[in-house]
Chains A and B, each alone.
Chain A
Amino acid sequence: MQEFIEFTLGGLSDGMIYAAVGLSLVLIWRGTRVVNYAQGGMAMFTSYIALIVINAGASYWLAFAVALVSGLVLGAVLERVVVRPTAGKPPLNAVIVTIGLLILIEGVAGIIYGSKNRSFPAAYSIVGAKVGNFALGAGSSPSAIFTAASVLGAAVLLAVLFRFTPIGLRMRASAFSATVAQLMGVRVGRMTTLGWALAGLIGALAGMLVTPQTFLYPNSMDSIFVLGFTAAVIGGLDSPVGAIVGGLILGVLLNYVTGYVGSNLPELAGLAVLVLVLMFRPSGLFASTATRQV
């Protein structure tokens, strides 16, 4: 029973990170029908920026803020400079561009920072709580609680932005029907840039939350990206709520696999889940449309 609770709490904590990556992918997919394969690379890069700030003697929280702002700016700049020219072109163009971006970002990170693993501080202790002699594991640690609170807080803020503000209405209208949005005077291009910027910010948040567990190196976010993508696919790829739920399901499932089957298997299990979802439930659990452009 103790193990079950430990694996479940750990899974929920990990799942929050997959949810954050999934959420960032959903933000871009909804607005542009592009899967941003560079999302993990962008998160890795902003984590390096945070590490530089920390190593310069600044506080963790300043580095945290710098990472988020860097993600925001990086997302906006990449959309405007690299991705925008693929609009209206065959979908494969955007796929190739984002894969190219990933290679470029990881290459640049390797050139600047080298390829060695670097430890990264966590915001809070990673030691799990105890109830009497009953250890609840790392999933109950202050760091895990901070992770959950951060991702849920970001999700709630996004929901409020989308549901209750004119800018959110503009973004949703642009995502659902660019033509109608333009007819209503919405600058759709700006909304797309804003979507990428927000995705960059959420991705940077995911990077800051996960890097203390994985170390930091140019490819450190690759496997997290795959699991975040799987979370988004489970949720339906265009549903923010689906990305959160998908992330939690995946996180718990992979922790059970790690705990009960074998510690080397979670990435394989993640890929298996991705394949199974695409085979049997390609529209995901929360998709608003029955079919998906691929």
Chain B
Amino acid sequence: MTEAASLTVTDVVAGYGSAPVLNGVSISALPGTITAVLGANGAGKTTLLRTISGFVRTRGGQVTMDDVSLTRLAPDRIARAGVAHVPEGQGVITELTVEENLRLGLLLRTRAERAAALDDVYRRFGSLADRRRRLAATLSGGERQILVIARALLSAPRVLLLDEPSLGLAPRIVAQVLDLIRRLRDESGLTVLLVEQNARGALSIADRGVVLNLGRIVAEADAAALAADVQLRQHYLGF
């Protein structure tokens, strides 16, 4: 695994059309930590990740990874810089096989690394190894989520952006996915920015938490402290 990096978002203003969705958002994710980004629908969580990965242009502010500016770079350049973004719901290319989807992640690796990296992923995710020749369209929702995370890992990212990885999954599968994310931090030292509506689950594995509301940060603290704040939970987190 490549060495994890810090990700810093400073006073970012971004959005679609004339109205900004993010209004001066600042977040810092330290290397080897999980930072949960929480908030209701429309808070700007997905827009934040899309801004970091270059799909939404910043109108103000900076995005940096280890002091290297990612601001206004094209999405493919940001990916090549080491930011892997697992988008909400639509990350699998259903027309390709499971292995072809995984090989997309390997495109950023050297030729010499590819075979060993793929073997490693198959060892870690046995269910994908069993289905490697099948079209990704035949996978269940949980398997698809594992596939896109595995593909992101194959690109040897320095920072991993996860957008609602538990969305639409059965509770048992949600627990597996969250456990996988926790292990990625613990075993690989990966820096993770985790966007989730399942605030309870996200805070259970995160080191830090950030709460967004209408494009602004309304709270930022250790995950345990956020989870213990009854008023904040009732107002913004729904549990």
Task: List B contacts of A182 (CB < 8 A).
Answer: 55, 74-76, 79
B149 to chain A, nearest CB (A): 13
| Segment with Cβ contacts to A, from B1-9, B16-24, B93-101, B119-127 | B93-101
Query: B175 an interface residue at 8 Å Cβ cutoff?
Result: no
Q: Mark B55-81, 1 if CB is under 8 A from A, else 0.
A: 100000000000000000011110110
Tell me whether B87 and A184 are in contact (CB under 8 A).
no
Residues of B within 8 A of A187 (CB): 76
B75 partner, pick from A166, A169, A172, A183, beta carbons under 8 A = A183
The 8 Å CB contact of A184, one of B55, B79, B92, B94, is B79
Q: Mark A116-127, 1 if CB is under 8 A from B, else 0.
A: 000000000000
Q: CA of A166 to CA of B76 in the docked complex: distance in angstroms?
A: 16
Interface residues of A in 167-190 (CB under 8 A from B): 169-170, 172-173, 176-177, 179-188
Residue of A nearest to B108 (CB): A185
In the assembled complex, the CB of A127 is this many whole angstroms from the nearest CB of chain B, namely 45
Closest to A238 in B: B95
Q: Are A176 and B96 in contact (CB under 8 A)?
A: yes
- Asked whether, in the complex, the Cβ of A169 is within 8 Å of the Cβ of B93, the reply is no
Chain B residues within 8 Å of A169, by CB: 100, 103-104, 107
Quick one: given A169-B100, A179-B55, A179-B87, are A184 and B105 in contact (CB under 8 Å)? Answer: yes
Q: Note all chain A residues with C-beta closer than 8 A to B84.
A: 183
Is B47 an interface residue when CB atoms closer than 8 A count as contact? no
Flag if A184 contacts B155 (CB, 8 Å): yes
A184→B95 contact, CB < 8 A? no
Task: Give every chain A residue within 8 A of B55 (Cβ-Cβ).
Answer: 179, 182
Q: Which residue of A lies closest to B82 (CB)?
A: A185
A169→B106 CA distance, assembly (Å):
11
Instruction: Using A170-B107, A173-B104 as known contacts, say yes or no to A183 and B96 having CB atoms under 8 A apart.
Output: no
Chain A contact residues, majority secondary structure: helix
Q: How far is the CB of A176 from chain B (nearest CB, A)?
A: 5
Nearest chain B residue, comparing its CB with the CB of A163: B100
Interface string of A176-218 (1 = CB under 8 A from B): 1101111111111000000000000000000000000000000
Nearest B residue (CB) for A288: B95
User: For chain B, which range describes its interface: under 10, 10 to 19, 20 to 34, or 35 or more residues?
Assistant: 20 to 34
Taking the complex as formed, is B166 at the interface, i.e. its CB lies under 8 A from any CB of chain A? no
Residue of B at shortest CB range from A167? B107
Do residues B76 and A185 form an inter-chain contact, with CB atoms below 8 A? Answer: yes
Q: With an 8 A cutoff between CB atoms, is B53 at the interface?
A: yes
Q: What's the nearest-Cβ distance from chain B to residue A289, in Å?
A: 9
Beta-carbon contact of A180 and B76 below 8 Å? no
Residues on the A chain within 8 Å of B182, using CB: none
**A177: chain B residues within 8 A (beta carbon):** 90, 93
B53 touches A183 (CB 8 A): yes
Residue contact B79 to A180, C-beta cutoff 8 Å = no
Closest to A166 in B: B107
Contact flag A185-B107 (CB < 8 Å), given A179-B87, A180-B91: yes
Task: Decide if B85 is an interface residue (CB 8 Å cutoff).
Answer: yes
A182 to B76, CA, bound (A): 5
Closest residue on chain A to residue B91 by CB atoms = A180
Nearest A residue to B151 via CB reads A184
Q: Shortest beta-carbon distance, A234 to chain B, in Å?
A: 21
B107 near A176 with CB under 8 A, answer no
Please give the distance in Å from A256's CB to the nearest CB on chain B: 35
| B152 CB to nearest A CB, Å | 8
Check A176/B95 contact, CB under 8 A, given A184-B105, A184-B108. yes
Taking each of A170, A179, A188, A288, which has the highest tally of chain B beta carbons within 10 Å of its own beta carbon?
Answer: A179
Contact surface of A with B, Cβ cutoff 8 Å: 166, 169-170, 172-173, 176-177, 179-188, 288
Q: List 24 A-B contacts (CB under 8 A).
A: A166-B103, A166-B107, A169-B104, A172-B96, A172-B100, A173-B104, A176-B96, A177-B90, A179-B90, A180-B87, A180-B93, A180-B104, A182-B55, A183-B84, A183-B87, A183-B91, A184-B79, A184-B108, A185-B77, A185-B107, A186-B104, A187-B76, A188-B76, A288-B95
Given A182-B55, A184-B105, 9 more A-B residue pairs with CB atoms under 8 Å apart are A173-B93, A179-B55, A179-B90, A180-B91, A180-B92, A184-B79, A185-B79, A185-B80, A186-B104
Instruction: Please give me the 6 A-B residue pairs with the lowest Cβ-Cβ distance, nearest first.
Output: A185-B79, A182-B75, A185-B80, A184-B104, A176-B95, A182-B76
